[in-house]
Structure 1
Amino acid sequence: MEFVTTHQPVALGQINTQPELLKRGPVTIRNLQDTEEDCQFSGRLMVEAFERKFIHATSKNSLPKIQELFAKMSRRRPPLYYERDFIAEYNGERAGSCVLRYHGDKDLFPDRDQDMPPLGCSDSCGLACLNCAVSGEDIPRGKCYVDHIGVDARFRGRGIGKVLLDMAEIDAKRRGCKAIYLWVATSNRAQHLYERQGYVLMEQYSLCGLLWCQTGEKEFARMEKILM
């Protein structure tokens, strides 16, 4: 039998000092911390998970600066911000991350001008267009949105993505959500993981010319799971 440990979360909005939220075998889930190491790791996984989109929108040479952007975006935020962001460790090494968003989070955690790295005009415009394409949706009340999930290439195939999704469901349920959903490119093999987790295809969205130019993807699927 798989060993499972969960800890009662702290009150919403308070700093979480507990080292573990969920443990399954060698995989441990905790909250992101406001440290250079955690935020650099989270930023790197964000860029790796969406590398093709970032290269399409900017250039391969700009990836280090975009990684720095996401690392800086996670620094010096209010405590509630870090409750949305989870780090997976495998035998004590950072191995994956998952970020959730809820209704109203766009107002709680706005973009900050000081986070923007010194990109050229073309890359800045491309990044802005990509952001408009992927972040325009308002999250409905009573639903949790998996903003992104990623596993370090060294640790793939070890069940880390599944444990991160389990943690996402635990967090969504404690916030009173009735469903959890995500968007995934139909070309992404991660759809099979989501299906095994109980996510159901709700709709497929073929992108028009403008959105295709912004993201480099032709089709996305919205997948959702009802939380019991």
Structure 2
Amino acid sequence: MDYTSVTTQQPLSFEDLNRPPQPVLPAISPVVIRNATASPEDRKFLGEVVVMGFERKFAHATSQSKLPLMKTYYEKHTSGRPPLFYERYFIAEYNGERAGACCLRYQGDDALFPERDEDLPNFGCCDLFGLCLMDLATKTDIPAGKAYVDHICVLSKFRGKGIGKTLLDMTDMDATKRGCKSIFLWVSTSNPAQHLYERQGYVTKETTSPFSCCMYCMIGEKEFALMEKDL
């Protein structure tokens, strides 16, 4: 499957794990947006979205052969988290089929949902070093009162159906509900998704290419745009 991506408490009870997903945005035509759940199906889908959506970056940091291990990592990463964790993830369904996803982040989320060493598969030292460099290059500080679109991805066969726009509408609603005054993201300047963001009201605040050669070594990209939207 082909994906398009953008760069940009208590454990769940048995009832929570088995509760049917509830739409959080009214259905518009065949598109429904809902929160992710801890179900194996949702976790597998989110793992595929992240890895396939950022395939070039992950392959750059490790290798093409390690992509299945990265999917396993993200499946584990989204397992057994507190309820608030799943509220950060939105899944778009088109006629009942999972079609895309996005993830929001707020200030303090790194502390609320820390990385877990036990989630990591058996990577070699070189692969771990490459992933650490990628993490350094993509680390983003989130100020109070702002929401950050960590990533948004849509399956290629569902492009052109307004799914990306509907996911972004959902992020606006969630950020507003949580008292944010603006929402922002980082996107490679070579990514045509910038036009979608502009249509959604995002404005480019700056374009940066810090230590471009070094940045390219880390993630395979040289220049990024910071885009922001007032809510």
TM (norm. structure 2) is: 0.89
Q: Deviation of residue 207 (structure 1)?
A: 3.0
* Structure 2 CA distance for partners of 1:118 and 1:180, relative to 1, 3 Å: same
Write the letter of the residue equivalent to 1:197: Q
Q: Hey, what does 1:170 align to over in structure 2?
A: 173
Runs (4 or more) in structure 1 with deviation over 4 Å come to: 15-18
Q: Hey, what does 2:3 align to over in structure 1?
A: none
Equivalent of residue 96 in structure 1, options 76, 94, 100: 100
Task: Give unmatched runs, 5+ long, in structure 2.
Answer: 1-11
Q: Hey, what does 1:6 align to over in structure 2?
A: none
Structure 1 residue 128 corresponds to structure 2 residue 132: yes
Counterpart-to-counterpart distance in 1, 2:101 and 2:187: 16
1:87–1:96 CA contact under 8 A, matched in 2: yes
Counterpart-to-counterpart distance in 2, 1:180 and 1:106: 18
Counterpart-to-counterpart distance in 1, 2:188 and 2:31: 27
Q: Hey, what does 1:25 align to over in structure 2?
A: 29
Q: Hey, what does 2:7 align to over in structure 1?
A: none
Q: Hey, what does 1:205 align to over in structure 2?
A: 208
**Larger relative contact order, structure 1 or 2 (CA cutoff 8 Å, min sep 6):** 2
Q: Hey, what does 2:225 align to over in structure 1?
A: 221
Q: Deviation of residue 17 (structure 1)?
A: 6.3
Q: Deviations over 1:67-103 (max 9, x none)?
A: 1111110010011101100000000000100100001
2:103–2:150 CA contact under 8 A, matched in 1: yes
Identical counterparts, % of pairs: 56
Structure 1 residue 53 corresponds to structure 2 residue 51: no
2:21–2:37 CA contact under 8 A, matched in 1: no
Counterpart-to-counterpart distance in 2, 1:110 and 1:216: 26
Counterparts of 1:141-160 in structure 2 under 5 Å?
141-160=144-163
2:154–2:164 CA contact under 8 A, matched in 1: yes
Counterparts of 1:67-86 in structure 2 under 5 Å?
67-86=71-90
Counterpart-to-counterpart distance in 1, 2:156 and 2:72: 19
CA-atom RMSD in angstroms = 1.6
1:184–1:191 CA contact under 8 A, matched in 2: yes
**SS state of the match for residue 23, structure 2?**
coil
Task: Give unmatched runs, 5+ long, in structure 1.
Answer: 1-12
Write the letter of the residue equivalent to 2:118: Q
2:205–2:226 CA contact under 8 A, matched in 1: yes
Counterpart-to-counterpart distance in 2, 1:154 and 1:76: 31
Q: Hey, what does 1:44 align to over in structure 2?
A: 48
TM (norm. structure 1) is: 0.90
Equivalent of residue 114 in structure 1, options 112, 118, 121: 118
**SS state of the match for residue 59, structure 2?**
helix
Q: Hey, what does 1:5 align to over in structure 2?
A: none
